[in-house]
Amino acid sequence: MGSPGPSPSRVYRVFELQAAVRDLLEGEFGRVWVEGELSGVKRAQSGHVYFALKDEKARLDVVLWRSSAVRLRFEPEDGLTVRVRGRLTVYAPQGRYQMEADALEPVGAGPLQVAFEQLRRRLEADGLFDPARKRRLPAFPRRVALVTSPSGAAVRDLIHVASRRWPALELVVVPVRVQGPGAAEEIAAGIRAADARGFDVLVVGRGGGSLEDLWAFNEEAVARAIFAARTPVVSAVGHEVDVTISDLVADVRAATPSAAAELVAPDRVQMMGGLRGTGRRLARAARALLGEGRRRLDAAASARAFRRPLERVHEAGLAVDDVALRLATAARERLRARGEAFERIAARLDALSPLKVLARGFSVTTKGGRVLTRAADARAGDELRTILADGEVRSRVT
Amino acid sequence: MANPKEGFEDHLQALEKIVEELEQGDLTLDAALARFEEGVKRLKTCRELLTKAEEKVKILVRDAEGELKEEPFESEEA
Protein backbone atom coordinates (compact mmCIF):
# COMPACT_ATOMS: atom_id res chain seq x y z
CA MET A 1 0.00 0.00 0.00
CA GLY A 2 1.36 3.42 -0.90
CA SER A 3 1.95 5.94 1.72
CA PRO A 4 -0.50 8.90 1.91
CA GLY A 5 0.82 12.29 0.69
CA PRO A 6 2.09 14.83 3.12
CA SER A 7 -0.62 16.11 5.38
CA PRO A 8 -1.87 19.59 4.33
CA SER A 9 -0.88 22.18 6.85
CA ARG A 10 -4.37 23.55 6.82
CA VAL A 11 -7.74 22.41 5.58
CA TYR A 12 -10.05 25.21 4.64
CA ARG A 13 -13.73 25.15 4.71
CA VAL A 14 -15.15 26.22 1.37
CA PHE A 15 -16.50 29.53 2.54
CA GLU A 16 -13.21 30.21 4.26
CA LEU A 17 -11.29 29.68 1.09
CA GLN A 18 -13.65 31.86 -0.91
CA ALA A 19 -13.39 34.59 1.67
CA ALA A 20 -9.63 34.36 1.60
CA VAL A 21 -9.61 34.62 -2.15
CA ARG A 22 -11.97 37.58 -1.97
CA ASP A 23 -9.74 39.36 0.45
CA LEU A 24 -6.77 38.67 -1.77
CA LEU A 25 -8.52 40.00 -4.83
CA GLU A 26 -9.91 43.07 -3.14
CA GLY A 27 -6.59 43.80 -1.49
CA GLU A 28 -4.53 43.32 -4.60
CA PHE A 29 -6.70 45.10 -7.12
CA GLY A 30 -8.89 47.50 -5.23
CA ARG A 31 -10.83 49.39 -7.82
CA VAL A 32 -9.68 48.90 -11.37
CA TRP A 33 -10.64 49.98 -14.86
CA VAL A 34 -11.02 47.25 -17.41
CA GLU A 35 -11.83 47.55 -21.07
CA GLY A 36 -13.68 45.06 -23.23
CA GLU A 37 -16.73 44.40 -25.31
CA LEU A 38 -20.17 44.19 -23.79
CA SER A 39 -21.83 40.86 -24.14
CA GLY A 40 -25.01 39.30 -22.81
CA VAL A 41 -26.30 42.54 -21.31
CA LYS A 42 -29.31 41.91 -19.11
CA ARG A 43 -31.27 44.43 -17.11
CA ALA A 44 -32.74 42.69 -14.05
CA GLN A 45 -36.03 43.73 -12.50
CA SER A 46 -34.06 45.03 -9.59
CA GLY A 47 -32.47 47.54 -11.89
CA HIS A 48 -29.02 46.04 -11.71
CA VAL A 49 -27.38 45.36 -15.05
CA TYR A 50 -25.54 42.08 -15.59
CA PHE A 51 -23.14 41.51 -18.42
CA ALA A 52 -19.85 40.00 -19.43
CA LEU A 53 -16.87 41.96 -20.57
CA LYS A 54 -14.96 40.11 -23.26
CA ASP A 55 -11.95 40.27 -25.46
CA GLU A 56 -10.47 37.69 -27.86
CA LYS A 57 -9.09 35.59 -25.08
CA ALA A 58 -10.99 36.04 -21.89
CA ARG A 59 -14.14 37.03 -20.18
CA LEU A 60 -15.10 38.78 -16.96
CA ASP A 61 -18.53 38.80 -15.37
CA VAL A 62 -19.72 42.20 -14.25
CA VAL A 63 -22.67 43.58 -12.38
CA LEU A 64 -23.50 47.27 -12.60
CA TRP A 65 -25.56 48.36 -9.62
CA ARG A 66 -28.85 50.10 -10.21
CA SER A 67 -27.68 53.32 -8.61
CA SER A 68 -25.01 53.63 -11.26
CA ALA A 69 -27.11 52.17 -14.07
CA VAL A 70 -29.79 54.90 -13.82
CA ARG A 71 -27.18 57.59 -14.32
CA LEU A 72 -26.11 56.16 -17.66
CA ARG A 73 -26.69 58.63 -20.51
CA PHE A 74 -26.56 55.86 -23.10
CA GLU A 75 -27.86 52.36 -23.55
CA PRO A 76 -25.30 49.59 -22.76
CA GLU A 77 -25.74 47.41 -25.84
CA ASP A 78 -24.06 44.15 -26.79
CA GLY A 79 -21.06 44.74 -28.96
CA LEU A 80 -20.26 48.18 -27.55
CA THR A 81 -16.66 48.61 -26.48
CA VAL A 82 -16.60 50.12 -23.00
CA ARG A 83 -14.49 50.81 -20.01
CA VAL A 84 -15.76 49.66 -16.67
CA ARG A 85 -14.58 50.68 -13.23
CA GLY A 86 -15.21 48.40 -10.24
CA ARG A 87 -14.07 46.11 -7.48
CA LEU A 88 -13.18 42.51 -8.05
CA THR A 89 -14.93 40.30 -5.59
CA VAL A 90 -16.03 36.75 -5.02
CA TYR A 91 -19.63 35.74 -5.19
CA ALA A 92 -19.32 32.93 -2.72
CA PRO A 93 -22.68 31.16 -3.22
CA GLN A 94 -21.66 30.46 -6.80
CA GLY A 95 -17.99 30.27 -6.30
CA ARG A 96 -17.33 32.83 -8.99
CA TYR A 97 -15.44 35.99 -8.95
CA GLN A 98 -16.88 39.03 -10.64
CA MET A 99 -16.60 42.75 -10.84
CA GLU A 100 -19.00 45.02 -9.04
CA ALA A 101 -19.00 48.10 -11.25
CA ASP A 102 -19.86 51.68 -10.42
CA ALA A 103 -18.97 53.35 -13.70
CA LEU A 104 -19.41 52.45 -17.33
CA GLU A 105 -18.40 54.54 -20.27
CA PRO A 106 -18.01 53.93 -23.99
CA VAL A 107 -14.66 53.90 -25.70
CA GLY A 108 -13.96 55.99 -28.79
CA ALA A 109 -16.85 58.34 -28.30
CA GLY A 110 -18.36 60.13 -25.39
CA PRO A 111 -21.48 58.70 -23.75
CA LEU A 112 -23.61 61.48 -25.25
CA GLN A 113 -22.39 60.76 -28.71
CA VAL A 114 -23.14 57.09 -28.28
CA ALA A 115 -26.58 57.95 -26.97
CA PHE A 116 -27.16 60.25 -29.91
CA GLU A 117 -26.26 57.49 -32.35
CA GLN A 118 -28.43 54.96 -30.55
CA LEU A 119 -31.50 57.22 -30.55
CA ARG A 120 -30.90 58.32 -34.12
CA ARG A 121 -30.85 54.71 -35.29
CA ARG A 122 -33.97 53.83 -33.35
CA LEU A 123 -36.03 56.84 -34.45
CA GLU A 124 -34.92 56.47 -38.03
CA ALA A 125 -36.16 52.89 -37.96
CA ASP A 126 -39.45 54.20 -36.58
CA GLY A 127 -39.76 56.52 -39.56
CA LEU A 128 -39.47 59.82 -37.74
CA PHE A 129 -36.94 61.19 -40.24
CA ASP A 130 -38.83 60.12 -43.36
CA PRO A 131 -38.29 62.87 -45.96
CA ALA A 132 -41.65 62.12 -47.57
CA ARG A 133 -43.44 63.22 -44.47
CA LYS A 134 -41.81 66.62 -44.27
CA ARG A 135 -44.18 69.51 -44.99
CA ARG A 136 -43.46 72.72 -46.82
CA LEU A 137 -43.65 75.98 -44.93
CA PRO A 138 -46.46 78.36 -45.96
CA ALA A 139 -45.20 81.25 -48.08
CA PHE A 140 -47.11 83.91 -46.11
CA PRO A 141 -47.66 82.74 -42.53
CA ARG A 142 -49.78 84.97 -40.28
CA ARG A 143 -49.04 83.46 -36.88
CA VAL A 144 -45.78 81.84 -35.79
CA ALA A 145 -44.96 80.27 -32.40
CA LEU A 146 -41.42 80.39 -30.98
CA VAL A 147 -40.83 77.51 -28.54
CA THR A 148 -37.67 78.67 -26.85
CA SER A 149 -36.25 80.41 -23.84
CA PRO A 150 -37.91 83.81 -23.28
CA SER A 151 -34.54 85.32 -22.44
CA GLY A 152 -31.29 85.17 -24.29
CA ALA A 153 -30.02 85.98 -27.74
CA ALA A 154 -31.95 83.37 -29.69
CA VAL A 155 -35.43 84.75 -29.09
CA ARG A 156 -34.21 88.30 -29.59
CA ASP A 157 -32.62 87.44 -32.92
CA LEU A 158 -35.69 85.53 -34.07
CA ILE A 159 -38.02 88.41 -33.26
CA HIS A 160 -35.71 91.05 -34.65
CA VAL A 161 -35.13 89.40 -38.02
CA ALA A 162 -38.72 88.23 -38.49
CA SER A 163 -40.20 91.63 -37.63
CA ARG A 164 -37.84 93.42 -39.95
CA ARG A 165 -38.75 91.17 -42.85
CA TRP A 166 -42.51 91.02 -42.29
CA PRO A 167 -43.79 93.33 -39.56
CA ALA A 168 -47.36 92.10 -39.87
CA LEU A 169 -46.33 88.62 -38.75
CA GLU A 170 -47.77 87.67 -35.36
CA LEU A 171 -45.07 86.12 -33.17
CA VAL A 172 -45.92 84.27 -29.96
CA VAL A 173 -43.16 83.13 -27.60
CA VAL A 174 -43.86 79.81 -25.87
CA PRO A 175 -41.44 80.04 -22.95
CA VAL A 176 -39.57 76.84 -21.99
CA ARG A 177 -36.34 75.85 -20.28
CA VAL A 178 -33.89 74.80 -22.95
CA GLN A 179 -31.41 72.87 -20.80
CA GLY A 180 -31.18 71.04 -17.52
CA PRO A 181 -33.32 68.28 -16.01
CA GLY A 182 -36.89 68.30 -17.21
CA ALA A 183 -36.16 70.66 -20.09
CA ALA A 184 -37.00 68.05 -22.73
CA GLU A 185 -40.43 67.46 -21.20
CA GLU A 186 -41.08 71.21 -21.03
CA ILE A 187 -40.10 71.67 -24.66
CA ALA A 188 -42.33 68.76 -25.70
CA ALA A 189 -45.25 70.21 -23.73
CA GLY A 190 -44.64 73.63 -25.30
CA ILE A 191 -44.74 72.11 -28.77
CA ARG A 192 -48.03 70.36 -27.99
CA ALA A 193 -49.59 73.51 -26.56
CA ALA A 194 -48.55 75.59 -29.57
CA ASP A 195 -49.75 72.94 -32.01
CA ALA A 196 -53.23 73.24 -30.53
CA ARG A 197 -53.45 77.02 -30.83
CA GLY A 198 -53.63 77.49 -34.56
CA PHE A 199 -50.25 78.64 -35.77
CA ASP A 200 -48.97 78.48 -39.31
CA VAL A 201 -45.43 77.50 -38.28
CA LEU A 202 -43.71 76.40 -35.05
CA VAL A 203 -40.08 77.35 -34.51
CA VAL A 204 -38.34 75.21 -31.87
CA GLY A 205 -34.81 75.97 -30.78
CA ARG A 206 -32.19 77.75 -28.75
CA GLY A 207 -28.87 79.48 -29.06
CA GLY A 208 -25.47 77.80 -29.21
CA GLY A 209 -23.85 75.69 -26.50
CA SER A 210 -22.05 72.43 -25.74
CA LEU A 211 -23.46 69.03 -26.60
CA GLU A 212 -24.53 68.80 -22.96
CA ASP A 213 -26.26 72.19 -23.18
CA LEU A 214 -28.15 71.24 -26.33
CA TRP A 215 -28.96 67.75 -25.03
CA ALA A 216 -32.68 68.37 -24.46
CA PHE A 217 -33.12 68.69 -28.22
CA ASN A 218 -31.63 65.21 -28.65
CA GLU A 219 -34.14 63.56 -26.37
CA GLU A 220 -36.91 61.26 -27.51
CA ALA A 221 -39.70 63.30 -25.87
CA VAL A 222 -38.93 66.33 -28.02
CA ALA A 223 -38.51 64.23 -31.16
CA ARG A 224 -41.89 62.54 -30.65
CA ALA A 225 -43.62 65.86 -29.96
CA ILE A 226 -42.23 67.35 -33.16
CA PHE A 227 -43.24 64.28 -35.13
CA ALA A 228 -46.79 64.41 -33.79
CA ALA A 229 -47.29 68.12 -34.49
CA ARG A 230 -49.81 68.96 -37.20
CA THR A 231 -48.22 72.37 -37.69
CA PRO A 232 -45.02 72.48 -39.74
CA VAL A 233 -41.98 72.69 -37.44
CA VAL A 234 -38.69 74.49 -37.98
CA SER A 235 -35.84 73.29 -35.75
CA ALA A 236 -33.25 75.95 -34.98
CA VAL A 237 -30.80 74.63 -32.39
CA GLY A 238 -27.38 76.09 -31.75
CA HIS A 239 -25.00 76.80 -34.55
CA GLU A 240 -24.54 75.53 -38.09
CA VAL A 241 -22.31 72.67 -36.96
CA ASP A 242 -24.69 71.28 -34.32
CA VAL A 243 -27.07 68.73 -35.73
CA THR A 244 -29.61 67.49 -33.23
CA ILE A 245 -32.30 64.83 -33.31
CA SER A 246 -34.95 67.56 -33.42
CA ASP A 247 -33.24 68.93 -36.56
CA LEU A 248 -33.65 65.50 -38.16
CA VAL A 249 -37.32 65.11 -37.22
CA ALA A 250 -38.46 68.64 -38.01
CA ASP A 251 -39.92 69.62 -41.37
CA VAL A 252 -37.17 72.15 -41.92
CA ARG A 253 -33.81 72.61 -40.24
CA ALA A 254 -32.41 76.11 -39.71
CA ALA A 255 -28.73 76.48 -38.90
CA THR A 256 -29.41 79.27 -36.42
CA PRO A 257 -32.40 81.11 -34.94
CA SER A 258 -31.80 84.07 -37.30
CA ALA A 259 -31.74 81.70 -40.25
CA ALA A 260 -35.05 80.33 -39.01
CA ALA A 261 -36.57 83.82 -39.12
CA GLU A 262 -35.41 84.15 -42.73
CA LEU A 263 -36.96 80.81 -43.64
CA VAL A 264 -40.26 81.60 -41.99
CA ALA A 265 -40.84 85.31 -42.67
CA PRO A 266 -41.05 86.54 -46.27
CA ASP A 267 -39.03 89.60 -47.15
CA ARG A 268 -41.32 92.50 -47.81
CA VAL A 269 -38.65 94.52 -49.60
CA GLN A 270 -38.33 91.71 -52.11
CA MET A 271 -42.10 91.42 -52.29
CA MET A 272 -42.40 95.15 -53.05
CA GLY A 273 -40.01 94.66 -55.95
CA GLY A 274 -42.04 91.72 -57.12
CA LEU A 275 -45.22 93.76 -56.94
CA ARG A 276 -43.67 96.49 -59.05
CA GLY A 277 -42.86 93.87 -61.65
CA THR A 278 -46.38 92.50 -61.50
CA GLY A 279 -47.78 96.02 -61.82
CA ARG A 280 -45.73 96.52 -64.95
CA ARG A 281 -46.99 93.27 -66.41
CA LEU A 282 -50.55 94.32 -65.63
CA ALA A 283 -50.14 97.68 -67.38
CA ARG A 284 -48.35 96.09 -70.34
CA ALA A 285 -51.00 93.46 -70.79
CA ALA A 286 -53.78 96.04 -70.62
CA ARG A 287 -51.98 98.32 -73.09
CA ALA A 288 -51.41 95.39 -75.40
CA LEU A 289 -55.06 94.46 -75.28
CA LEU A 290 -56.16 98.04 -75.91
CA GLY A 291 -53.67 98.34 -78.77
CA GLU A 292 -54.91 95.07 -80.12
CA GLY A 293 -58.45 96.34 -79.89
CA ARG A 294 -57.57 99.56 -81.69
CA ARG A 295 -55.73 97.65 -84.39
CA ARG A 296 -58.68 95.40 -84.92
CA LEU A 297 -60.93 98.42 -85.08
CA ASP A 298 -58.69 100.14 -87.64
CA ALA A 299 -58.35 96.97 -89.65
CA ALA A 300 -62.07 96.53 -89.66
CA ALA A 301 -62.68 100.14 -90.56
CA SER A 302 -60.25 99.98 -93.46
CA ALA A 303 -61.39 96.59 -94.62
CA ARG A 304 -62.98 96.34 -98.04
CA ALA A 305 -66.17 95.28 -96.40
CA PHE A 306 -66.38 98.69 -94.79
CA ARG A 307 -65.04 100.79 -97.61
CA ARG A 308 -66.97 99.09 -100.43
CA PRO A 309 -70.36 100.48 -99.48
CA LEU A 310 -68.92 103.96 -99.76
CA GLU A 311 -67.24 103.03 -102.96
CA ARG A 312 -70.44 101.69 -104.24
CA VAL A 313 -72.20 104.80 -103.22
CA HIS A 314 -69.49 106.65 -105.04
CA GLU A 315 -69.78 104.49 -108.08
CA ALA A 316 -73.50 104.78 -107.93
CA GLY A 317 -73.09 108.49 -107.67
CA LEU A 318 -70.91 108.52 -110.71
CA ALA A 319 -73.37 106.40 -112.51
CA VAL A 320 -76.14 108.75 -111.54
CA ASP A 321 -74.11 111.68 -112.67
CA ASP A 322 -73.43 109.97 -115.88
CA VAL A 323 -77.04 109.18 -116.43
CA ALA A 324 -78.04 112.65 -115.40
CA LEU A 325 -75.57 114.06 -117.85
CA ARG A 326 -76.79 111.88 -120.58
CA LEU A 327 -80.34 112.65 -119.65
CA ALA A 328 -79.60 116.33 -119.68
CA THR A 329 -77.85 116.09 -122.98
CA ALA A 330 -80.59 114.03 -124.45
CA ALA A 331 -83.18 116.36 -123.07
CA ARG A 332 -81.38 119.36 -124.40
CA GLU A 333 -81.09 117.65 -127.73
CA ARG A 334 -84.73 116.93 -127.81
CA LEU A 335 -85.54 120.37 -126.63
CA ARG A 336 -83.40 121.79 -129.32
CA ALA A 337 -84.88 119.54 -131.89
CA ARG A 338 -88.30 120.44 -130.63
CA GLY A 339 -87.29 123.99 -130.59
CA GLU A 340 -86.25 123.87 -134.17
CA ALA A 341 -89.37 122.06 -135.12
CA PHE A 342 -91.33 124.54 -133.15
CA GLU A 343 -89.69 127.37 -134.82
CA ARG A 344 -90.41 125.92 -138.13
CA ILE A 345 -94.02 125.51 -137.24
CA ALA A 346 -94.07 128.84 -135.62
CA ALA A 347 -92.72 130.28 -138.80
CA ARG A 348 -95.38 128.55 -140.83
CA LEU A 349 -97.97 129.62 -138.38
CA ASP A 350 -96.62 133.01 -138.50
CA ALA A 351 -97.02 133.07 -142.21
CA LEU A 352 -100.55 131.95 -141.80
CA SER A 353 -101.06 134.37 -139.02
CA PRO A 354 -103.95 136.73 -139.53
CA LEU A 355 -101.62 139.49 -138.53
CA LYS A 356 -99.52 138.82 -141.55
CA VAL A 357 -102.73 138.75 -143.64
CA LEU A 358 -103.72 142.04 -142.16
CA ALA A 359 -100.36 143.42 -143.12
CA ARG A 360 -101.25 142.63 -146.69
CA GLY A 361 -104.25 144.98 -146.33
CA PHE A 362 -106.93 142.61 -145.35
CA SER A 363 -108.91 143.47 -142.23
CA VAL A 364 -111.14 141.69 -139.85
CA THR A 365 -114.43 143.16 -138.93
CA THR A 366 -116.31 142.13 -135.84
CA LYS A 367 -119.79 142.90 -134.70
CA GLY A 368 -120.52 142.40 -131.09
CA GLY A 369 -117.35 140.42 -130.70
CA ARG A 370 -118.10 138.08 -133.57
CA VAL A 371 -116.37 138.17 -136.85
CA LEU A 372 -118.48 139.48 -139.63
CA THR A 373 -118.19 137.21 -142.57
CA ARG A 374 -121.35 138.22 -144.52
CA ALA A 375 -122.34 141.61 -145.53
CA ALA A 376 -125.94 140.81 -144.95
CA ASP A 377 -125.21 140.47 -141.30
CA ALA A 378 -124.38 144.19 -141.11
CA ARG A 379 -127.57 146.24 -140.63
CA ALA A 380 -127.78 149.89 -140.55
CA GLY A 381 -126.82 151.34 -137.26
CA ASP A 382 -124.76 148.37 -136.13
CA GLU A 383 -121.51 149.19 -134.43
CA LEU A 384 -118.62 147.46 -136.10
CA ARG A 385 -115.05 147.02 -135.14
CA THR A 386 -112.53 146.68 -137.86
CA ILE A 387 -109.11 145.32 -136.97
CA LEU A 388 -106.35 146.42 -139.24
CA ALA A 389 -102.69 145.53 -139.16
CA ASP A 390 -101.73 148.34 -136.94
CA GLY A 391 -104.87 148.93 -134.91
CA GLU A 392 -108.67 149.02 -135.05
CA VAL A 393 -111.37 151.29 -136.39
CA ARG A 394 -114.90 151.63 -134.96
CA SER A 395 -117.62 152.43 -137.33
CA ARG A 396 -121.40 152.53 -137.71
CA VAL A 397 -123.17 150.99 -140.61
CA THR A 398 -125.12 153.52 -142.55
CA MET B 1 -64.93 93.05 -54.25
CA ALA B 2 -62.02 92.33 -51.81
CA ASN B 3 -63.00 90.22 -48.82
CA PRO B 4 -61.65 91.78 -45.58
CA LYS B 5 -60.73 88.34 -44.34
CA GLU B 6 -58.45 87.84 -47.31
CA GLY B 7 -54.79 88.02 -46.43
CA PHE B 8 -51.82 89.20 -48.44
CA GLU B 9 -51.43 85.86 -50.12
CA ASP B 10 -55.05 85.80 -51.32
CA HIS B 11 -54.71 89.24 -52.90
CA LEU B 12 -51.39 88.33 -54.47
CA GLN B 13 -52.76 85.14 -55.98
CA ALA B 14 -55.83 86.93 -57.35
CA LEU B 15 -53.58 89.59 -58.87
CA GLU B 16 -51.33 87.05 -60.54
CA LYS B 17 -54.32 85.24 -61.96
CA ILE B 18 -55.63 88.50 -63.42
CA VAL B 19 -52.29 89.31 -65.04
CA GLU B 20 -52.10 85.84 -66.58
CA GLU B 21 -55.62 86.20 -67.98
CA LEU B 22 -54.82 89.57 -69.50
CA GLU B 23 -51.56 88.31 -70.95
CA GLN B 24 -53.35 85.45 -72.67
CA GLY B 25 -55.46 88.04 -74.46
CA ASP B 26 -58.59 85.97 -74.91
CA LEU B 27 -60.90 88.44 -73.25
CA THR B 28 -63.35 90.82 -74.79
CA LEU B 29 -62.42 94.45 -74.38
CA ASP B 30 -65.15 94.96 -71.77
CA ALA B 31 -64.04 92.00 -69.71
CA ALA B 32 -60.41 92.98 -70.07
CA LEU B 33 -61.02 96.47 -68.76
CA ALA B 34 -63.00 95.12 -65.82
CA ARG B 35 -60.23 92.69 -64.93
CA PHE B 36 -57.62 95.42 -65.28
CA GLU B 37 -59.55 97.57 -62.82
CA GLU B 38 -59.73 94.76 -60.32
CA GLY B 39 -56.03 94.08 -60.83
CA VAL B 40 -55.22 97.65 -59.94
CA LYS B 41 -57.33 97.36 -56.77
CA ARG B 42 -55.57 94.16 -55.73
CA LEU B 43 -52.17 95.67 -56.41
CA LYS B 44 -53.01 98.67 -54.27
CA THR B 45 -54.20 96.45 -51.41
CA CYS B 46 -51.02 94.37 -51.58
CA ARG B 47 -48.89 97.49 -51.34
CA GLU B 48 -50.90 98.76 -48.38
CA LEU B 49 -50.53 95.47 -46.55
CA LEU B 50 -46.79 95.57 -47.11
CA THR B 51 -46.29 99.07 -45.79
CA LYS B 52 -48.41 98.46 -42.72
CA ALA B 53 -45.90 98.01 -39.94
CA GLU B 54 -47.69 96.37 -37.04
CA GLU B 55 -45.28 94.49 -34.90
CA LYS B 56 -47.17 92.01 -32.75
CA VAL B 57 -45.06 89.96 -30.39
CA LYS B 58 -46.78 88.01 -27.64
CA ILE B 59 -45.91 85.43 -25.02
CA LEU B 60 -47.93 82.40 -23.95
CA VAL B 61 -48.65 82.36 -20.24
CA ARG B 62 -50.79 80.40 -17.87
CA ASP B 63 -53.21 82.54 -15.91
CA ALA B 64 -54.53 82.01 -12.39
CA GLU B 65 -57.04 79.43 -13.59
CA GLY B 66 -54.35 77.48 -15.38
CA GLU B 67 -55.62 78.56 -18.80
CA LEU B 68 -53.21 79.46 -21.55
CA LYS B 69 -53.34 83.06 -22.80
CA GLU B 70 -51.35 85.23 -25.16
CA GLU B 71 -50.07 88.47 -23.68
CA PRO B 72 -47.84 91.23 -25.02
CA PHE B 73 -44.18 90.29 -24.84
CA GLU B 74 -41.44 92.60 -23.79
CA SER B 75 -38.10 91.15 -24.81
CA GLU B 76 -34.86 92.49 -23.44
CA GLU B 77 -33.46 94.66 -26.19
CA ALA B 78 -29.73 94.32 -26.79
Give chain A positions within 8 Å (CB) of B70. Answer: 172
Is the residue at A157 inside a domain?
yes
Is the residue at A258 inside a domain?
yes
Let me know whether A89 and A134 are in one domain: no
Query: B53 to chain A nearest CA, in Å?
Result: 5
Which of A250, A266, A282 corresponds to the end of one domain?
A: A266
Supply the pLDDT for residue B2. Answer: 47
Is the residue at A78 inside a domain?
yes
Query: A136 to chain B nearest CA, in Å?
Result: 16
Q: What is the DSSP string of A229-268?
A: -SS-EEEEESSTT---HHHHHSSEE-SSHHHHHHHHS--H
Supply the pLDDT for residue A388. Answer: 83
CATH at A240:
3.40.50.2300
Is the residue at A115 inside a domain?
no
Whether B25 sits inside 8 A of A278 (CB atoms) is no
Let me know whether A249 and A169 are in one domain: yes
Supply the pLDDT for residue A130. Answer: 95
Let me know whether A145 and A103 are in one domain: no
Whether A285 sits inside 8 A of B23 (CB atoms) is yes
Let me know whether A169 and A211 are in one domain: yes
Q: Does residue A218 contact residue A246 with C-beta atoms inside 8 Å?
A: yes
Q: Give the Cα separation of A393 and B12 in Å (integer).
A: 119
pLDDT tens digits for range A304-358: 666 666 666 777 777 777 877 777 777 777 778 777 877 777 777 776 767 777 7
Please name the amino acid found at residue A4.
P
Supply the pLDDT for residue B78. Answer: 41
> Based on the structure, what is the number of domains in chain A?
3
Whether B36 sits inside 8 A of A282 (CB atoms) is yes
Whether B50 sits inside 8 A of A271 (CB atoms) is yes
Is the residue at A120 inside a domain?
no
Which of A266, A281, A314 corresponds to the end of one domain?
A: A266
Three-state SS for A170?
A: strand
Q: Give the Cα separation of A257 and A158 in Å (integer).
A: 6
Q: Give the Cα separation of A66 and A44 in Å (integer).
A: 9
Let me know whether A72 and A144 are in one domain: no
Let me know whether A161 and A219 are in one domain: yes
Is the residue at A237 inside a domain?
yes
pLDDT tens digits for range A211-259: 999 999 999 999 999 999 999 999 999 888 889 999 999 999 999 999 9
Let me know whether A140 and A258 are in one domain: yes
Is the residue at A250 inside a domain?
yes
Could you tell me where the DSSP H helices lie in A128-209?
153-165, 183-195
pLDDT tens digits for range B26-74: 888 888 889 999 999 999 999 988 888 777 799 999 888 888 889 888 7
Q: In what order do the strands lie in the sheet with A201-206?
A: A252-253, A233-237, A201-206, A143-148, A170-175, B56-62, B68-72
Whole domain around residue A257: which residue ranges? Answer: 130-266
Instruction: Say yes or no: ipTM exceeds 0.90.
Output: no
Q: pTM of whole model > 0.90? A: no
Supply the pLDDT for residue B3. Answer: 56
> Which of A48-57, A106-115, A269-278, A363-372 is predicted least confidently?
A363-372
